[in-house]
């Protein structure tokens, strides 16, 4: 089977974990802060706080900005369910905005239409790895005194107007799942980047506490200071990332540029090889930003489900990212989904398909997928 995504590992990655296993610290040790510093340097952010996965990153970020019961947070309809779920974890209400048809990025005009007196934040999702329109979103957030968060779980390695993802929103959230731009098995990160350094420091402290049961220090810092006392300031969770994971993530981060270059090459090849066909349309890549291509998404103009099944028979695994969140049973049972109006997202869901893309994918595999798509389109046309 050719998977739609997978991790890329080498001996240096493996050795980084072995070295930690032979050290004195397996968790809350020195590699945690080293990875956070390397990540904040790479993203040009004020700070970076590691957590156990991307969902935890979203939950912690919403805690940091003090989302309270009844607060509204605007999220795009097309995203992984964790983006909206994290709002609910914190007692907030997700408000779904539609997406733009050509990119499936959050529609800024629809965001503006859905801001109310109860709105406290906007979460922009860098769908498939392409940054959102942060200039327009920042203007909206400033005009209405809102926090701007980025669900950047797809877009590590991308840039918007020459600024790296991670520095574009007040808080940005990342995932290190195996199919993401870099991996450590499971892991996540929150970067803080606000102009007010006092606010940035406060947000960072809240994140550090929240990931550690709400406690204001960790075991290693108390050991270094020769102290035992601590204070639990908030009702937090155990969301910590281990030193083993941080070692692997740092090794992977050193390869991010080459990983991103390869993903971009694969995407260009797909676009070139699929260009003669009217049956498949890749999403638009906007000129003022680079694209991390966590996903290679196309729109199938005829019978997406048949294409999915036909590719599967050829041992090619594809996926669909994503069904509009509010169409899931949990949301249908608890929200007035009939009042949610996101027609572009609903139409896109019927057509979108994610093709295999990962750094270790070989050129002949790209050609095999493209040729298979062409053959399926031809067979469909003949049978029609």
Query: The tokens of 126 are what?
Result: 């860098």
Is 297 inside a domain boundary? Answer: yes
Query: The tokens of 278 are what?
Result: 């009217």
188 and 46 part of one domain: yes
Q: CA dist 146 to 3, 71, 153, Å?
A: 40, 11, 21
- Tell which residue, 152, 345, 373, has the closest CA to residue 271: 373
- Span 75-85, average pLDDT: 98
**How many folded domains does the chain comprise?**
2
Is 4 inside a domain boundary? Answer: no
DSSP strand E in the chain: where? Answer: 47-51, 72-76, 93-97, 119-125, 147-151, 159-160, 163-164, 171-175, 188-192, 280-282, 296-300, 352-355
pLDDT tens-digit series, residues 211-251: 999 998 887 787 788 888 899 998 999 999 999 999 999 99
Which of 219, 253, 287 represents a domain boundary (last residue)? 253
Is 3 inside a domain boundary? Answer: no
15 and 145 part of one domain: yes
33 and 162 part of one domain: yes
66 and 134 part of one domain: yes
pLDDT for residue 384: 66
pLDDT tens-digit series, residues 91-129: 999 999 999 999 999 999 999 999 999 999 999 999 999
**CATH code of the domain covering residue 377:** 3.90.1150.10
- How many residues would you count in the chain? 384
Q: Using a pLDDT cut of 90, give the percent of the chain over it.
A: 93
pLDDT tens-digit series, residues 151-196: 999 999 999 999 999 999 999 999 999 999 999 999 999 999 999 9
- Span 67-92, average pLDDT: 98
pLDDT exceeds 80 at position 55: yes
Is 6 inside a domain boundary? Answer: no
Q: Is 208 helix (H, G, I), strand (E, B) or coil?
A: helix
Confidence band, pLDDT 50/70/90 cuts, at residue 48: very high
pTM for this one?
0.96
């Amino acid at each position: 089977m050719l998977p739609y995504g997978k991790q890329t590992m080498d001996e240096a990655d493996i050795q980084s974990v072995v070295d930690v296993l032979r050290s004195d610290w397996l968790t809350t040790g020195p590699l945690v802060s080293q990875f956070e510093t390397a990540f904040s340097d790479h993203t040009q952010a004020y700070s970076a706080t590691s957590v156990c996965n991307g969902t935890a990153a979203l939950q912690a970020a919403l805690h940091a900005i003090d989302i309270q019961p009844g607060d509204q947070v605007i999220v795009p309809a097309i995203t992984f369910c964790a983006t909206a779920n994290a709002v609910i974890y914190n007692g907030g209400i997700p408000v779904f905005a539609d997406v733009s048809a050509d990119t499936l990025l959050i529609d800024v005009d629809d965001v503006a239409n859905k801001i109310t007196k109860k709105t406290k934040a906007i979460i922009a999702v860098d769908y498939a790895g392409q940054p959102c329109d942060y200039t327009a979103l920042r203007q909206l957030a400033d005009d209405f005194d809102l926090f701007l968060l980025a669900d950047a779980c797809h877009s590590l390695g991308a840039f918007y107007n020459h600024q790296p993802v991670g520095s574009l929103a007040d808080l940005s959230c990342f995932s290190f799942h195996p199919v993401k731009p870099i991996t450590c098995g499971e892991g996540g990160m929150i970067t803080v980047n606000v102009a007010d350094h006092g606010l940035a420091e406060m947000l960072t402290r809240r994140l550090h506490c929240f990931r550690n049961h709400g406690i204001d220090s960790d075991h290693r810092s108390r050991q270094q200071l020769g102290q035992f006392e601590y204070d639990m300031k908030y009702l937090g969770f155990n969301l910590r990332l281990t030193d083993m994971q941080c070692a692997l993530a740092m090794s992977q981060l050193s390869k991010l540029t080459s990983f991103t270059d390869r993903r971009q090459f694969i995407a260009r090849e797909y676009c070139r090889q699929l260009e003669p066909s009217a049956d498949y349309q890749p999403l638009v890549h906007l000129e003022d930003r680079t694209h991390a291509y966590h996903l290679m998404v196309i729109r199938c103009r005829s019978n997406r489900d048949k294409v999915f099944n036909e590719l599967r028979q050829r041992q090619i695994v594809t996926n669909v990212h994503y069904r509009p969140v509010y169409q899931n049973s949990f949301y249908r049972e608890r929200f007035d989904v009939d009042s949610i109006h996101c027609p572009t997202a609903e139409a896109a869901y019927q057509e979108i398909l994610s093709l295999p893309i990962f750094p270790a994918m070989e050129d002949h595999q790209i050609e095999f997928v493209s040729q298979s798509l062409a053959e399926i389109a031809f067979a469909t046309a003949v049978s029609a």
